[in-house]
Amino acid sequence: MSTVNKVSLSIAAVLVLLLVGLTTAPVHAQTPSVTASVDRTDLTLTDVLTLTLRIEGVTNVHPLPQAPVISGLVLVGSERRSYQAFVQGALSAHFEFIFKYQPLRAGSIDIDPINVILDNTVHITDPITVNVTGGSGATQSSTGPPPQPTSLVGQDFFAESEVDDETPYIGQQITYTLRFYSANAFARPIYDAPDFAGFWNPGRSSEEESLANVAGRRYTITEANTVLFPTLAGDLTIEPTNVTVRGGLLGSSVTQYPTRQINLSIRPLPPGEPDTFTGAVGIYSIAAEVDSNTVDIGNPVTLTLTVTGEGNMESLPAPEWPEIPGWRAFDNDAPYKMSIIDGKVQGSREFERVLIPSASGSHEFPPIEYSYFDPSDEEYVTLTSRSFSVEVLPDPGSPEADPLATSEETEDAEAQDIRYIKPVPDSIARPTSPLTASSVFWLLWLTPLAGILAVATLVMYKRRPDSISTPGDLSAALQVALAKLAAIEPGSSTADAASMALHGYLDVRLERPTSGMSATEIADSLGQIGASAATCERLVELMGRIAEMRFSSREVEGSEEVARDVQAIVRALDEELSA
Amino acid sequence: MRAVTTLLVLTFVVAFTLVDSVAADDSLDIEAFRSANLLYESGNFEEAARSYEHLSRLGYQDATLYYNLGNSYYQMDDKGRALLNYLRAKRLAPLDEDIDANLSLVRAGVSDPGAAQERPVPVLGQFANWLPWVSLNAATLVALLCWLVIWAVALTLVWNRNVPYSLTLRRIAVVAGFGLLLFGVLAVSNQVSRSYWTETGVIIAQSTDVLEAPNARARTEINLDTGREVSVIETRAGWTRVRLPRTELEGWVLSSDVERVLLEDL
């Protein structure tokens, strides 16, 4: 192995060891802990409360904690952070689930304990109380932006950014647009998106290129649009964005063109929200349905409310479900679909509630009300679904299943007793363990394979050539030849048997088939490996006699003599060639 | 040839009778059974149940034993254990009308009307119910014998095409082929049925909470009364995860509150 190969192999081995060491590093055997905290306990109606759920001591959180529904607060945003690090060779991790809430009313607001399931164990946080006052609180301040070029006056490159609404409502969709002007058709700008702190960002919606004449020059204009939803009320800032252009030989020089900083004033939702408002902002429509209008008692009915429209589907809150007496309710996950069409986030979300009746009869599901704030009309809208009638059938086995049954029959049914015990059987069954659990049982299924092998071996043995097929085993060849000669029965074909015995021996001795060779050729070959000329002559003469016998009537008469001669020739050859 | 056929038939009969179950040869246990019946007939249901349970713990799995035990619990107003033992009896004797009658009665009498939801038996597992006297062991053993016969005939014919009675041997192989198919299906059906009964559980506590997680502090999803039939999904550290039949509702209950119809270690 060359030195280069050895070095490469060593590096690869070290890398593999490192990788294995990293991936198999033990996880800190910490006890999982869950804590909830808020960034402030006193706030005003315009403030945003940040509730942080911190989970430590686990490497994975499943299922993910959902934002708790808090009376008096509306969810305006959420984010998730995870921290992982190797400490002394072990993996340490913690997770933070951050929920942003806007107060809906003044006064004391209780945040109930939050249940988090980790490794099938429920962890409960401590309750928290916050006080909301009606005044205006401190708002986030922003530092002044650096001076930026404000217009395009003929530069080679220029970047600008804007939003379509600088005073949106919290939760209202806005569009952030970055435009980059390039007078150099070969320049390829690289756009570093800002982090959009305080916004929920479902991704860049579009990116287009166009040509235009501006300030007397022809520019390629690259325009990138990003959809944003403010999650905090108050003043927010979108930091300047840098557009990088590489120039020079092989892109060795880099020039950055910053945009201006954008300041927004996010308005809180106006007062006067309806009781059924849970925080949805956008424009929606609803449709409700049940999967069945007839159900057996104890079986579930699924009530589905589908909310469709424009808005932030990911954080679209569930409706305030109406209470339905006599039904047990279980909420399912609420899957959603979302896409950006014509610069607007659109989609739908299905809220499912599984309901199980505990009494038969006709039941009425009341309409479901769903409220949202429409930022374009600046008003709250309440939608109402239709109501449903569900017929619950009694259990077929219960007396109420047959409404025509008379009270007498019902009494008979109630009075009905079980059938009597059975007499003692002649023997009591005691089961044996399943045969399928025994390896012997399964081995027996394979025994035909052993049979196939045995038969194949026997068939091969039966069909094996009469000659000895083991080259070099001269002693065996001699023994077989002699045995064949000794076994010649009176009246049988002595010539054939003698020929087979002779050729059988010669095949092994010359290590090739001899049946197709003439007697002279065989004698020459034997002479070459050390047989005497006299023996070779005797062999030629004997083979001639055998051939003559096979086609004449003298066979029977000379059979014993030929057998003796073959025996003598074989012995002579064996002695000469072995020596 | 006739001797060979007779030998084959005898082998199959032995397979049916010997591998299925071992009958109790201990006359003391038979006598204990008889005493339990007498206790029941005299109205001492609690003692009768205790005697039947004792026989059950000795390893006996007998439809009559479970049926009588179910009756004892029914008379003690323990609907959960009554249902459990009727189900155990039904597993062993699915065509028994007495078991069906008492099972229906107990199911109709549980306090929650929705509790009468039995678990649907898989279609493949229902074949075994049609021929209940063919146990899993009998079916698998006969299928194995058929398999061996087919191969023995095939190898014999390969070894010597001119073997005497070759036509008869071929006929035997065809019959064994049908036997392999029939008893193979029965064996699979028995295995499916066995899994079904292993996964079937009954709430034997008077009432139990189904929790979201195996933790006493977890939220209660639903409350189940005694006699509720459930699917048993897993058991972990004193908690058993169950699912309600015909719904996707599942949760954790205390393992002592639920019992499987067929214990895996049996």
Least confident piece of the model among A5-19, A115-129, A260-274, A536-550:
A5-19
pLDDT for residue A291: 87
Residue B21 has its nearest CB partner, among A357, A432, A452, at A432
Q: Within 13 Å and on the Cβ side, how many CA atoms surround A518? A: 3
Checking if the pLDDT of A140 tops 90, the result is no
Joined together, the tokens standing for residue A532 give 């005497």
The mean per-residue pLDDT over the stretch B153-172 comes to 80
A18 pLDDT band (50/70/90 cuts)? very low
Instruction: Report, as an integer, the average pLDDT of A322-346.
Output: 81
CB A37 within 8 A of CB A54: yes
Query: Are A421 and B71 an interchain contact pair (Cβ–Cβ within 8 Å)?
Result: yes
Question: Does residue B214 sit at the A interface (CB-CB below 8 Å)?
Answer: yes
Q: How far apart are the C-alpha atoms of A320 and A527, rounded to whole Å?
A: 112
pLDDT in tens, B215-238: 888 888 888 889 989 999 998 888
Both structure tokens of B90: 């039904």
Please, which pLDDT band fits residue B256 given cuts at 50, 70 and 90? very high
Selecting from A328, A423, A429 the residue whose C-beta is nearest the C-beta of B23 gives A429
Contact B247 A300 (CB under 8 A): yes
CA distance B6 to chain A (A): 22
Which residues of chain B are within 8 Å of residue A392 when distances are taken between CB atoms? none
CB atoms within 10 A of CB A315: 22
A429: chain B residues, CB-CB within 8 Å: 21-24, 60-63, 92
ipTM of the complex: 0.79
- Tell whether the model's pLDDT for residue B82 goes beyond 90: yes
Please state the rounded mean pLDDT for residues A541-562: 74
The per-residue pLDDT for range A56-76, each reduced to its tens digit, is 877 777 777 777 878 778 766
pLDDT at B143 over 50: yes
Mean of pLDDT over chain A = 77
| Maximal C-alpha separation, chain A | 140
Chain-chain contact of B222 with A448 (C-beta, under 8 angstroms): no
| Chain A neighbors of B114, CB-CB under 8 A | 297-299, 356-358, 395
Q: Is there a cis peptide before residue A65, judged by omega within 30 degrees of 0?
A: no
Q: B59 to chain A: nearest residue by CA?
A: A430
Element (H, E) at A483: helix A474-486
Q: Measured between alpha carbons, how far is residue A339 from residues A227, A306, A315, A348, A536 in Å?
A: 11, 16, 14, 10, 100
Q: Which residues contact A80 (CB under 8 A, 6 or more apart)?
A: A64, A95, A96, A97, A98
B105 contacts in chain A (CB < 8 Å): 416, 418
**pLDDT confidence of residue B86:** 95
Task: State pLDDT tens for residues A158-211.
Answer: 888 899 999 999 999 999 998 888 887 777 788 777 888 888 887 766 778 888
State the Cα–Cα distance between residues A542 and A529, nearest whole angstrom: 20
pLDDT of A244 > 90? The answer is: no
Residues B158, A459: C-beta atoms closer than 8 Å: yes
CA distance readout (Å), A403 to A293, A398, B105: 20, 11, 19
Q: What is the pLDDT of residue A29?
A: 44
Check residue A13 and give its pLDDT.
52
Selecting from A298, A330, A422 the residue whose C-beta is nearest the C-beta of B68 gives A422
A245-282 per-position pLDDT tens digit:
876 655 566 778 888 889 999 999 998 888 888 889 99
pLDDT band at A553 (very low <50, low <70, confident <90, very high): low
B148/A448 CB distance under 8 A: yes
Q: Is residue B54 within 8 angstroms of chain A, CB to CB?
A: no
Q: Contact at 8 Å (CB) between B55 and B39?
A: no
Contact check, Cβ <8 Å, B62/A395: no
**Chain A interface disruption, residue of B11, B30, B133, most A CBs within 10 A:** B30
Q: Do A117 and B212 touch (CB under 8 A)?
A: yes
Most confident range, picked from A235-239, A447-451, B77-81: B77-81
In 3D space, the residue among B121, B117, B120 whose CA is nearest the CA of residue B129 turns out to be B121
The secondary structure of residue A352, as a DSSP letter, is E
The per-residue pLDDT for A463 is: 63
| Cα-based angle B60, B64, B70 (whole degrees, multiple of 5) | 95
Given a cut of 70, whether residue B98 has pLDDT beyond it is yes
Nearest chain B residue to A301 by CA distance is B247
Provide the shortest C-alpha distance from residue A279 to chain B (in Å).
Answer: 26
Tokens representing A401 are: 């299943």
Put simply, whether B57 touches A (Cβ < 8 Å) is no
Flag if A430 and B22 touch (Cβ within 8 Å). yes
Do residue A117 and residue B65 have CB atoms under 8 angstroms apart? no
